[in-house]
Chain A
Amino acid sequence: MALLRLRWNRSKYLLLLFLPALVYYVMFKYVPMFGILISFKDYNPFKGIWQSEWVGLKYYEMFFHSPDFPKLLKNTILLGVYKVVFGFPAPIILALLLNEVRKGVVKRLVQSISYLPHFISNVVVVSMMFLFLSPTSGLVNHVVEWMGYSSINFMQNENYFRTLYILSEIWQHIGWETIIYLAALSAIDPQLYEAATVDGASRWHQLRHVTLPGIMPAIVILFILNIGHVLDIGFEKVLLMLNPSIYSTADVLSTYVFRTGIQAMNYSYGTAIDLFTSVVNLLFILTANWISRRTSETSLW
């Protein structure tokens, strides 16, 4: 009891600082969460969520028995894993490269330019992909033909979808995601570099022993957060790229929810699938956090 009072005294001002965030989370995140119930009900918007009929796990069973379930899960996991494997390191590498640039002007210029694509909406990005990758008039295929190969039907070939999706994701967000690492880099004590230089450390050594450890906490936290979103593939961009010839690799959970849950107005079914996705994501993040806690000092909690 006394211990509790001591801790309370020690943390009352911290709790005061946390209060606004707490109020926000309760009001805008937890109060609406009763909406999850609709995945166990036959939701009727007119009657409202409480009055709608209970159906138990009907929608979950429906989803697990769908003939497309294995395909959707496989496509989603593969795309998510590739996104983490290739998409996650990309901004780190760019940040480290920028860190090696000694001319401030070049550094700032490259930074400011590389984050531009983040501001182009998916609609425009995908329409440009169609334009530049077109097998008939696309710039890329002109190059391919010029090199003596026959033109490639990029957007209508199931084997190219994942590569194109990941590459375009990296292109869109690399500059933007670099910003956070640049902020982390700015927190490294310059004296550490000076000491290393005096010791005669090469640039490679400085990178390994000063720079990387300096931004490691940020890398670890962002990695854990990314792991927690493996199955979250934004539906908009995939949907824009989707066409019948690439269904076998491109159809993912979110596009399926969009078609069967939202467009066909099966809100309960869509919510059930979303909840399933969330649970899997949660398992991923719990595992990642557990491993991180055991192997490094950084963890979410």
Chain B
Amino acid sequence: MKPKFGVFDALLYLVLFGVAASALYPFIYMIAVSLSGTVPVLKGEVFFWPKEFNLNTYTAVFDNPEIGRAYVNTIIYTVLGTAISLIVSAAGAYSLSKRDMLFRNGFMVMVVITLFFSGGMIPTFLVVKSYHLIDTIWAMVLPGAVSTWNLIVMRTFFTGLPQEVEESGKIDGLTDVGIFFRLVLPLSKAILATIGLFYGVAIWNNFFSALLYLRDADLFPLQVIVRNMVLQGAGGANGAGNIGGDSMIVDEALKYATIIVTTVPILLIYPFLQKYFAKGALIGSVKG
């Protein structure tokens, strides 16, 4: 049975179109500005289409000798970090979803407390330093490996898993570890995809850890380079210092070009994950 396309559907599409349009426009604007000549941007004539089309800003971004290495660094941090975060969080969340685990409530309180209390920037730095993680890949991956928020959300999903899964595993003689890896994880693709995306994006955009823990410029991720480029010509405390020739307007276009170049790769990941969100993906696999 196929319902008709009614008034409700018309309204629905209208609302969704509005949401999509408002979300898309700033990107169109940024792309248009990044591809335009300086004068039309300056006069505020660019709204939708680039005027005086050119690729200068993109050439400038890719001419930066540091950007290639920074790209590689960021990809390494993101892949490695997401893998570690996902495994540790999923295992932790699964065990916390089992009501009969020893000390469960105690652990839960311990985890929740960290949502509210933290040592602050300097103590955390000192501790990470004492572990000798400064200027290593691990400094970008370990200090933020588990997000309590993500952990709790995952736990909620594991709690909702059908009881039969665990029971069938027990019958097959699997331990909880075996059940987790062989049965639970394959059934939880949607939540793994979601939380993996959350972690991945957070690591991709992480600038703060680099700021605190990295001194070696060879280890800098993309976001540090982006920040330096975006700041260029943007002025500091010393206003007189900004006698920067005609670079004064290019920076807006350059800023947007940099943003586009550095966010597009991570944006492209989501569409590939969407298949895991199909209706009934979970149950289908249990029954099948």
Contact = CB atoms under 8 A, between A and B. Distances in A.
Interface string B116-140: 1111101110111001000000000
B95 A14 contact: yes
Contact of B280 (A16, A31, A117, A186): A186
A182 B26 CA distance: 25
Contact of A17 (B16, B92, B110): B92
B98 A14 contact: yes
A209 B90 CA distance: 30
A218 B118 contact: no
B261 interface: no
Given A28-B145, A119-B267, A186 B277 contact: yes
B278 A110 contact: no
B111 interface: yes
Most chain B CB neighbours (cut-off 10 Å) among A14, A25, A94, A301: A14
Contacts of A294: none
B124 A35 contact: yes
A7 B126 contact: no
Given A225-B152, A285-B112, A275 B100 contact: no
A110 B176 contact: no
A281 B27 CA distance: 36
Instruction: Report whether over half of chain B's contact residues are helix, strand or loop; otherwise say mixed.
Output: helix
Interface string B164-189: 00000000000111001000000000
Given A11-B98, A110-B16, A116-B27, A183 B270 contact: no
A49 B108 CA distance: 29
B116 A179 contact: no
A34 interface: yes
A225 B282 CA distance: 25
A14 B95 CA distance: 5
Interface in B237-288: 255, 259, 263, 266-267, 270-271, 274, 276-284
A51 interface: no
B208 to A, nearest CB: 12
A282 interface: yes
Most chain A CB neighbours (cut-off 10 Å) among B16, B89, B190: B16
Given A13-B175, A32-B118, A114 B23 contact: yes
Contacts of B119: 31-36
Interface stretch (A97-105, A147-155, A157-165, A244-252): A97-105
27 contacts: A13-B175, A18-B96, A21-B146, A28-B124, A28-B127, A28-B128, A28-B142, A33-B119, A33-B123, A36-B120, A114-B20, A116-B27, A120-B26, A139-B47, A179-B277, A182-B277, A183-B157, A185-B277, A186-B190, A187-B157, A187-B281, A187-B283, A217-B156, A217-B159, A267-B122, A275-B117, A285-B115
Given A30-B110, A33-B123, A35-B119, 5 more contacts: A15-B102, A25-B110, A100-B9, A179-B194, A301-B112
Interface of B: 1, 3, 8-9, 12-13, 15-16, 19-20, 22-24, 26-27, 29-30, 44, 47, 87-89, 91-92, 94-96, 98, 100-105, 107-120, 122-124, 126-128, 131, 142-146, 149, 151-153, 156-157, 159-160, 175-177, 180, 190-191, 193-194, 197, 201, 205, 255, 259, 263, 266-267, 270-271, 274, 276-284
